[in-house]
Amino acid sequence: MIDFKKLFLDVLLPNGQLAASSERSVVLLGCPCGIWSYWYLSLKIKFETETVKLYEFKNPRRKDWRYGLEFKFDRVSFVSEISKIASFNKL
């Protein structure tokens, strides 16, 4: 089972403040078997003061592919929604 809170919110400290590094790479889509040589989709996530930015989507097997995607979300809303999703895993 995916731990969405850990996956997306690891850059936050327990009090909601940003950790030293507010940027990290995340594997968004991958095979649940855990074999990383499959074709997974990764991205970078950056927590800014008021927003969360998802960018640099890539597939390591297709280094020449450029997705050109970038999404920005309100930080408070993003953390709230990811926390809601994470709570579903506990049901």
**pLDDT at 14 (0 to 100):** 60
Residue 91, in any domain of the structure: no
**Stretch (H or E) spanning 8:** helix 4-9
Instruction: Tell me which of 91 and 39 has the higher pLDDT.
Output: 39
Contact 43, 57 (CB under 8 A): yes
pTM, full prediction:
0.70
**pLDDT at 70 (0 to 100):** 95
SS3 percent helix, strand, coil of the chain, rounded to 5, is 20, 30, 45
Q: Token pair for residue 29?
A: 């889509």
Domains: count for the chain: 1
Residue 68, in any domain of the structure: yes
3-class DSSP state of 78: helix
Residue 76, in any domain of the structure: yes
Long-range (24+ apart) CB contacts under 8 A made by 53-60 are 57/28
Residue 64, in any domain of the structure: yes
pLDDT tens figures, 16-69: 555 545 676 777 776 767 666 667 788 888 888 899 999 988 887 787 888 889
